[in-house]
Structure 1
Amino acid sequence: MTPHFLSFQFLLLLILLCTTTTTTVAQPAPAPGPPPPTNITKILEKASQFTTLIRLFDITKVGDQINTQLNNSKQGMTVLAPTDNAFSSLAPGVLNSLSDQQKDELVQFHVLPTFISTSQFQTLSNPLRTQAGDSTFYNFPLNITTSGTQVNLTTGVVNASLANSIYTDGSLAVYQVDKVLLPMKLFGPQPPAAAPAPEPEKKKKKAGDTAATGDSTANSSSAVDLRLDLHGLMRGLIAFIAMFCL
């Protein structure tokens, strides 16, 4: 084979390679889609051991309320989640004895209307404001104390502790608590009954009226004495005249 023929074959091979090779262009990765809507039920289901709280969220519709607020506002929320063991430590029949409204208030008492990170617990002011409303003593007070990283909660009926963080995304924080938070309004002593209104006092006589009554009595006595004196004088005068006429 001549060198010219080999060169021709090599050139032909290069042409074939250039015409048959396809150029692969790297495609950009697809943009990530929007995050799925927050769902408190799915968060608790994934964490497990919260079936009783999930059931209460469903019965009272508080779970739907939390999801709606989180997905339609930027205010944020915090959920204090008692475990199934915490609920099982309650006296038998306690939950069943509550009315629908009381169940709603109990669940709302475990929800704070703002996002609270673990570090923010050190700076909170008491009493904490919950979704249950009025935080005065005989209603829904919730107070917090901290010692290092330990966070304690007291309702006036029960003392509980934050066990760990279950979920946080900057908008929703879910913390496990070791006891059910029992509010004063539902489980504490009732406020003392108001003192009965005092009976209206009888109208007292004025000092002037008393003096006037005394003066009137004195005047009446003087008039009687005067009449008696005149009567005696007339009798004496008649007797004196009769002596001289005899």
Structure 2
Amino acid sequence: MATQFQSHVCKFLLLFILQCIITTTTLAQAPAPAPSGPTNITKILEKAGQFTTLMRLFKLTQVGDQINTQLNNSNQGMTVFAPTDNAFSALKSGTLNSLSDQQKVELLQFHVLPQYLTTSQFQTISNPLRTQAGDSASNKFPLNITSSGNQVNVTTGVVDTTVANTIYTDGSLAVYQVDKVLLPMDLFGPPSPAPAPTPEKKKKSGADDDTPATDDSTPSADASGAVGFGGHLHGFMVGSVGVITLIALFCL
């Protein structure tokens, strides 16, 4: 009996030790929780849906990479206004194709603010807002945002729209849905008026006149180029009459 009891005890201990080894090995091989990846504007838009055209343009112009790099390598927040696929479809046919590569970059950068803004902060901002596209003071890329209650209005001087939805916000990046493409004045505004022509200077008279004064005593040329001798002929005739008169008096 003692031998059987010892055998059962040994088997139990062996099984217990084997179970401990298996459990320890399993726990050692279990992967640690994966760290949250870097912020990626494309993945955010892909998860939200209905932003296929914007994602394609971000990739084509590399503006998406610029946003990701800036977010993950600096403490500067950003705000992105994301037009939906329907917003791009509503543009006049050929609008995007008419833009150069640089103009496409400027168009997308016009949708990006180099600061993080919540919807409540829209009530206290100073317009016009500076975008990644650059100059806002000389009526090239002005973006104006006003807030009334729960409605946030966005205007560019060419397009007026509202913020339709908050897609993403994490304290560093805010992405808001807009139902129109934000068209900047510099690319889609009315053309600048042509400069007024410079008035021609009036021709001076008198001594400054380029036309020389005509002297009646000098021969003049008519249209055929012939020279007139009116003054000399008159003198010749007067002289001839005088000679004839003297001859007639002498003969008498």
Instruction: Return the TM-score normalized by structure 2.
Output: 0.67
Residue by residue, what CA displacement relative to the aligned partner does 1:39-87 show, whole Å, maximum 9, x if unpaired? 1111111111001111111111101111111111110111100000011
- Cα distance 1:121–1:32, how it changes in 2: closer, same or farther (>3 A)? farther
In structure 2, the residue matched to 1:167 is 168
In structure 2, the residue matched to 1:224 is none
Tell me, yes or no, if the aligned pair for 1:138 and 1:188 is still in contact at 8 Å: no
In structure 2, the residue matched to 1:60 is 61
RMSD: 3.2
3-state SS in 1 of match to 2:140: coil
Q: Report deviation, 1:137.
A: 4.8
1:140 has 2:141 as partner: yes
In structure 2, the residue matched to 1:93 is 94
**Distance in 2 separating the partners of 1:189 and 1:126:** 21
Q: Write the mapping of 1:23-172 to structure 2, written as runs, cut at 5 A.
A: 32-172=33-173
Aligned residues: 197
**Distance in 2 separating the partners of 1:34 and 1:202:** 83
Q: Report deviation, 1:191.
A: 2.8
**Distance in 1 separating the partners of 2:108 and 2:67:** 11
3-state SS in 1 of match to 2:91: coil
Gaps of 5+ in 2: 1-5, 205-252
Q: Report deviation, 1:169.
A: 1.1
**Distance in 2 separating the partners of 1:31 and 1:19:** 31
- Cα distance 1:136–1:197, how it changes in 2: closer, same or farther (>3 A)? farther
**Distance in 1 separating the partners of 2:105 and 2:36:** 30
Q: Report deviation, 1:37.
A: 1.1
Misfit runs of 4+, over 6 Å:
18-25, 198-203
In structure 2, the residue matched to 1:226 is none
**Distance in 1 separating the partners of 2:31 and 2:95:** 53
**Distance in 1 separating the partners of 2:13 and 2:93:** 83
**Distance in 2 separating the partners of 1:139 and 1:185:** 4
Instruction: Return the TM-score normalized by structure 1.
Output: 0.68
